[in-house]
């Protein structure tokens, strides 16, 4: 599997409403951190996740989190 594009080297901090979302795992979406279909013709797939409580969430921007779609701080160790 190829490496994802680092969309940004820090998390996306968003207040999300309850619902289902599709997180971009490839880093190519122009609608970060959400999927816009740019993964087609790659070996990546978007990650579906569901939010049940309106709250502030930190979504991974570097695409290397071990707990996707949420940031786990690994961006602090990556080089752009």
How many domains is the chain partitioned into structurally?
Answer: 1
In a domain, 80, yes or no: no
In a domain, 32, yes or no: yes
Per-residue pLDDT of the chain (80 residues; tens, 9 = 90+): 689 999 999 999 999 999 999 999 999 999 999 999 999 989 999 999 999 999 999 999 999 999 999 999 999 998 75
The pLDDT of residue 13 is 98
Total-model pTM: 0.93
What is the Cα–Cα distance from 26 to 35, expressed in whole angstroms? 9
In a domain, 47, yes or no: yes
Half-sphere exposure of 73 (CA within 13 A, CB side): 0
DSSP conformation class of 75: G
Is 72:65 a contact under the CB 8 Å cutoff? yes
- Classify the phi-psi angles of 19: left when phi > 0, otherwise alpha if psi is within -120 to 50, otherwise beta: left
The residue segments making up the domain with residue 19 are 12-70
């Amino acid at each position: 599997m190829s490496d994802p594009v680092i969309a940004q080297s820090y998390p996306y901090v968003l207040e999300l409403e309850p619902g289902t979302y599709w997180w971009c795992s490839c880093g190519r979406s122009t609608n970060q951190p959400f999927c816009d279909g740019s993964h087609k013709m790659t070996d990546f797939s978007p990650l579906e996740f569901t939010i049940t409580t309106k709250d502030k969430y930190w979504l991974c921007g570097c695409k290397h989190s071990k707990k996707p779609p949420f940031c786990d701080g690994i961006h602090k160790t990556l080089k752009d």
